[in-house]
Structure 1
Amino acid sequence: MKIKIMDGHCDALTKLYMNPKLQFGIEEQELDVSYPRLKQAGVKVQCFAIYLSDSIQQPTFDHILQMVDVFHRQVVQHPGMHFIQSEADWRIVEAGDLIGAILTLEGVDALAGNMTHLRILQHLGVRSIGLTWNYANWAADGVMEPRKGGFTRKGKLMLKELETMGIIVDVSHLSTAAFWELVEIYSKPFIASHSNAQKVCPHPRNLSDDQIKAIIQCKGNIGITFVPYFVDSAIMTVPISALLKHIDYVCALGGEQHIGFGSDFDGIEQWIKGLRHAGQYGNIIEALCKNYRESQVEAFLYGNWRNFMLQNLPK
């Protein structure tokens, strides 16, 4: 069974930026996500996050622009890739043998509260923005910030700006308080690009039942992630079957049409057994096909993300 795949989050750009010798176009041991590995697995659309490593002590907008440059030079210029900025781009990818690339931002720290920077990123094709990483920035608190605060005044202004611009908001890494403030003031669908179910694995980065229901309610999407300690923190070697428990749980809450995957490949240093890189997505397909109908498997791997993106990307 040939099934298309969309992956809602990877950090390959960070590795390509930090180590200019790496090449996206060839199979590199150090890269979980590369063109040959995406092709091998049948990945049709991959989201590439601009994430400034915490080794960059004073991140600036110039660092973001440098990573946009890496995205264009390494990813978009590859003849087998196509930059998805709109619904029309998505349909171009589907009509041919290309792999689509969506550019996202993880953490608004380096925007420094400047809405002009935000608009520039929109012009450059950024289509989804995760508001924080784990800790606080000028806009909001992250999920690991000890004070557990919500949005700043300027952060709330940014939310309204994002709503007007049509950039998709990503709540993975956002504090619980900020999550519920967003639900109150933001009227569009939003996503958690790489988060799992807290009841199945009680990690702070995972979503509570009420958060999962809120994402379903707003017609958003949840990217089930491959970070082993977000899947099962009680065992050392996490099997693919443990991922299915999160899918079952979200489905039981009414989320069958709101589940996708967001691997976090290249942002992790531990891996699920049989999921060492993007080329091994076939192992997930095999496990899913033993437990779900073909139509469900296709929805989890591609269809749900496709429906969401076609409704929320610019026309």
Structure 2
Amino acid sequence: MIVIDGHCDVLMKMYEDPSLDFFSERPSSLDVTYPRMCHSNIKVQFFAIYISERIKFPQLDHYLEYAVILHRKIAGDGRIRAIRNRGDLEAVMNGPQRGALLTLEGADALQGNPLYLRTLYELGVRMIGTTWNYANWAADGVLEPRQAGFTRKGKAFIKDCNELGILLDASHLSVRGFWDLAECSNKPFVATHSNAKAVCAHPRNLDDGQILEIIRTGGRIGMTFVPWFVAGEGAAIDGLLKHIDHILSLGGAGTLAIGSDFDGIDRWIPGLEHAGHYDRLALELYKRYPDDVASAILHGNWHSFLMEQLPVH
């Protein structure tokens, strides 16, 4: 079993509680830890810079502090390698290290400033979700009442990301924002942690048109373990498989991936309470689907996408 997980909020917890040790063998409040990554053979973990709603006006300094946590406290001693390009990814997949890919969830503090965007790129950010659930200078999030799309500055931001080599994540965008992104981006985009609305009608899930667009353009959709995105109540691993079945029925075998949202949730699917439990999900995937499909969901589709889209150097 090999796993690539497209979303977690470890950095937020480590920012809010500096005493947390990512490498500790002892139980802690972290869902994702190095020992659990090793147990589940998570070769690459995406780490989001997500600024809690408790901070009303995020600043660039907040993003920089999160980046420092990743580089010093997670990728600082050689066991985990920060992934900036395809060479880093291949070194991780073929060697003893594990990989950390830095992402941003909510571009509020960038304010359309290309220098700020370039700064994050130089610090290793390789994917950005423009909004969280609400509106900012660039676009509306999925829970913003007016449900608008991207602003003029936001559309310029899409182009800037395309040119720099920063991937774009639609998971928290409004529906109109999703389609603006599809129209404006000249590169495939992803939804790192969203499920299928046809199975569970949560606003954060994707409708069939959105799923088909991501399939058509060669993007990826990370199945998320947020219980209320899986089922209205009684979420279970079997319920997660229903989302996978639905996306497969739309032709998404090359699109499906994982985006757990571990450390961003305070309730869990029974049996998937932390990153050490991937063997339980893998068992069900390999029982239900051909080996190549199960492996693609667990890691292969993220791997191929990153090898196509990350910078060469």
Common fold, TM-score beyond 0.5? Answer: yes
**Alpha-carbon deviation of 1:113?**
2.2
Q: Which residue matches 2:254? A: 257
1:238 deviates by: 1.6
Q: Does 1:23 align with 2:40?
A: no
Unaligned runs of 5+ in 1: none
**Counterpart position of 1:105:** 104
Q: Where in structure 2 are the equivalents of 1:1-315 lying within 5 Å?
A: 3-27=1-25, 28-233=27-232, 235=233, 237-315=234-312
Once residues 29 and 63 of structure 1 are traced to their aligned partners in structure 2, the CA distance between those partners, rounded to angstroms, is 24
Consecutive unaligned residues in structure 2, runs of 5 or more: none
Structure 2 SS opposite 1:254: coil
**Residue aligned with 2:254, SS:** helix
C-alpha displacement of 1:187: 1.4
| Letter paired with 1:248 | D
Distance in 2, Cα, partners of 1:275 & 1:99: 21
Q: Is the 8 A contact 2:20 2:28 kept in 1?
A: no
TM-score (norm 1): 0.97
Given residue 182 of structure 2, which amino acid in structure 1 is its aligned partner?
A: V
- Tell me how far 1:70 sits from its aligned partner: 0.7
CA distance in 1, matches of 2:207, 2:175: 9
Distance, in Å, in 1 between the alignment partners of 2:175 and 2:138 is 14
With the length of structure 2 as denominator, give the TM-score of the two structures: 0.98
CA distance in 1, matches of 2:21, 2:72: 10
Corresponding letter in the other structure for 2:118? R
SS at match of 1:238: coil
Q: How far has the Cα of 1:240 moved from its partner?
A: 0.6
- Secondary structure of the 2:109 match is helix
Deviation per CA, 1:78-107: give whole Å up to 9, x if none: 432111110000111122111111000000
* Identical residues among aligned pairs (%): 50
Task: Give the CA RMSD over aligned residues.
Answer: 0.8
* Cα shift readout 1:234-256 (whole Å, capped 9, x = no counterpart): x2x32111110011100100111
Equivalences, count: 311
Bigger shift: residues 77-86 or 4-13: 77-86
Aligned residue for 1:256, secondary structure, equals coil
Give SS of 2:45's match.
Answer: strand
> Cα distance, 1:74 vs. partner?
1.2
Q: AA paired with 1:102?
A: L
Distance in 1 between residues matched to 2:49 and 2:205, nearest whole Å? 21
